[in-house]
């Protein structure tokens, strides 16, 4: 029964018109603590984070990193990042998501995360999104609810992007510098 | 008595793929080829549509009334394309406007269906290209509008992708003016290897970008022996090459969240002017 350390619980990619492009969930791991994430619950959480983006938008003119958006309870916290084109990346972190690999890591759950801990994850996500845009089969306007007038699926379906998001979510741990 | 260290490496050989000249030349040639490509596409699609219509008219036992409505509908579309106005038939796109709709997709669908049937006889009235008095091929009015629309659509997607990729570490533009400044400075350098020379605005949503030596127009030749007529004709032919960059601007600004219409024009080669109007602007 080791101590626990933070891991990513969910990653959300939300388009400029507040349309969800992709939501990825990562279950908690470790002995006796396995827990599946509830999709509906996390959808609500990501939705509520949009309000925080809007509220902070006028005062935040410099920088993309919105840092800690909201700490829901002792376990869950939401961090956000806004790209230049209006795409929002939201990461929900579970402070007790995995077994601590080392005793020092276990202490992070008590001490808390810094904003800069999540920057590598956001950078990697942004790189993955840009790579998706360089795919000729991905047309941004098709995923824009205003442009397509609500016909068809609006979420991202590119396997490469989905796998990359998965990899980022699983590979992150506090203190990692490049994913 | 040591030799001073070499601070500059010798330039890479010309056929080294890492030589930036190779990439720049390739981009220039590609941009040049886009215009004839759009032209060929449009002409072929129109030809197929004409053939299909001919086939339909000639097939036995068909309803004259239906033919009339189809004919009228077809005429209306052509009218819409020629006027460049989005009329009641909402699917036709305006020549250079913010809403790039799926008009050409609709035309393409019909053309594709008739390709098999009407392949043989293209005796229909295809308003094909004529020849100007100086001997250069010119497109018909109808083809012209479609070609412009198509080029603009291509530029739009390119602009969106470009702005996403290259605005990564730059500060976020908060006003339309900031977004246009980003386009003037960074995007222009990336695509055309120079900055825009002049940016004017009336602070009410209209911006005018002037480039005194616009890269695609910089290598065009004008036959001065023919006088004014030659210059005008060169201008008309150069106009086609301005639509793709116009689309790139529109796409880039759309990527940054600013909906605009872009009008590209040139009064003298190689100067080019782009007039950008945000939605709801007062001239």
ipTM: 0.77
CB within 8 Å: A130 and B165: yes
H or E segment to which residue A21 belongs = strand A20-25
**Cβ–Cβ contact B130 with A under 8 A:** no
- The mean pLDDT value for A13-21 works out to 86
Q: Tokens 């909201």 — which residue?
A: A70
Q: pLDDT tens digit string along B188-209?
A: 888 888 888 888 888 888 889 8
Of A61, A63, A130, the CB nearest to B164: A130
Rounded distance, CA B115 to CA A76, Å? 59
CA distances from B149 to A114, B130, B267 (A): 50, 21, 21
Using the predicted structure, report yes or no on whether residue A48 has a pLDDT greater than 70.
Answer: yes
CB within 8 Å: A129 and B161: no
Backbone angles phi, psi at B30, to 5 degrees: -60, -45
**B256 contacts on A by Cβ (under 8 Å):** 84-86
Using the predicted structure, report yes or no on whether residue B124 has a pLDDT greater than 90.
Answer: no
Query: Which residues are CB-neighbours of B167 under 8 A, at least 6 positions away?
Result: A84, A85, B182, B186, B255, B256
Of B157, B164, B168, the CB nearest to A139: B157
Domains and CATH numbers, chain A: 4-171 (3.30.450.70)
Between A2-11, A23-32, B78-87, the lowest mean confidence (pLDDT) is in B78-87
H or E segment to which residue A81 belongs = strand A76-82
> B199 near B183, Cβ under 8 Å?
no
Query: Which residues are CB-neighbours of B142 under 8 A, at least 6 positions away?
Result: B46, B78, B81, B82, B127
Of B165, B174, B257, the CB nearest to A133: B165
Q: pLDDT tens digit string along B234-268?
A: 888 888 888 888 999 999 988 888 888 888 888 88
> B154 near B33, Cβ under 8 Å?
no
**Cβ–Cβ contact A57 with B under 8 A:** no
Q: State the smallest CA–CA distance between residue A60 and chain B in angstroms.
A: 10
CB within 8 Å: A130 and B172: no
Backbone angles phi, psi at B86, to 5 degrees: -80, 100
**B161 contacts on A by Cβ (under 8 Å):** 133-134
DSSP B184: I
Rounded distance, CA B74 to CA B76, Å? 5
> B266 near B217, Cβ under 8 Å?
yes
- The mean pLDDT value for B97-112 works out to 36
Burial class (CB in 10 A: 0-12, 13-18, 19+), B194: middle
Domains and CATH numbers, chain B: 140-278 (3.30.1380.20)
Of A85, A126, A134, the CB nearest to B163: A85
Q: pLDDT tens digit string along B41-70?
A: 888 888 898 899 888 888 865 565 555 555
Higher pLDDT, B145 or A61: B145
């Amino acid at each position: 029964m080791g101590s626990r350390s933070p891991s990513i619980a969910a990653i959300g990619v939300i388009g400029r018109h507040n349309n969800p492009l992709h939501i990825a969930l990562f279950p908690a791991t470790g002995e006796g603590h396995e827990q599946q994430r509830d999709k509906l619950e996390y959808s609500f959480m990501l939705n509520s984070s949009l309000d925080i983006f809007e509220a902070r938008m006028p005062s935040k003119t410099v920088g993309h990193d919105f840092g800690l958006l909201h700490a829901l309870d002792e376990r869950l916290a939401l961090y956000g990042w806004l790209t230049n084109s209006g795409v929002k990346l939201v990461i929900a972190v579970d402070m007790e998501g995995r077994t601590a690999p080392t005793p020092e890591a276990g202490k992070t759950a008590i001490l808390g995360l810094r904003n800069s801990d999540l920057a590598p994850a956001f950078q990697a996500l942004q790189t993955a999104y840009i790579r998706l845009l360089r795919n000729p089969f991905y047309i941004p306007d098709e995923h824009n609810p205003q442009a397509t007038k609500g016909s068809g699926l609006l979420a991202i379906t590119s396997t490469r992007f989905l796998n990359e998001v998965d990899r980022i979510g699983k590979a992150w741990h506090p203190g990692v510098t490049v994913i | 008595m040591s030799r001073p260290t070499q601070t500059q490496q010798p330039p890479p050989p010309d056929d080294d793929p890492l030589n930036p000249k190779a990439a720049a030349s390739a981009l220039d040639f590609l941009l040049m080829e886009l215009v004839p490509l759009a032209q060929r596409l449009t002409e072929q699609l129109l030809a197929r549509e004409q053939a299909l219509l001919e086939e339909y008219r000639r097939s036995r036992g068909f309803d004259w009334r239906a033919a009339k409505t189809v004919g009228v509908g077809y005429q209306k579309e052509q009218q819409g394309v020629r006027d460049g106005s989005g009329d009641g038939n909402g699917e036709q796109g305006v020549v250079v406007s913010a809403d790039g709709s799926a008009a050409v997709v609709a035309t393409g669908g019909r053309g594709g269906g008739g390709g098999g049937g009407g392949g043989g006889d293209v005796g229909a009235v295809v308003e094909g290209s004529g020849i100007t008095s100086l001997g250069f091929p010119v497109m018909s009015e109808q083809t012209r509008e479609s070609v412009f629309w198509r080029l603009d659509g291509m530029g739009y997607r390119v602009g969106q992708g470009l702005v996403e990729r290259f605005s990564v570490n730059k500060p976020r533009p908060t006003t339309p003016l900031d977004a246009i400044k980003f386009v003037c400075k960074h995007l222009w350098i990336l695509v055309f290897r120079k900055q825009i020379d002049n940016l004017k605005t009336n602070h009410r949503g209209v911006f005018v970008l002037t480039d005194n030596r616009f890269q695609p127009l910089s290598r065009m030749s004008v036959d001065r022996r023919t006088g004014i007529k030659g210059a005008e004709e060169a201008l008309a032919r150069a106009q086609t090459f301005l639509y793709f960059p116009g689309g790139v601007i529109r796409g880039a600004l759309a990527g940054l969240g600013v909906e605009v219409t872009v009008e590209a024009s040139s009064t003298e080669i190689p100067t080019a002017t782009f007039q950008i109007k945000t939605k709801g602007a007062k001239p």
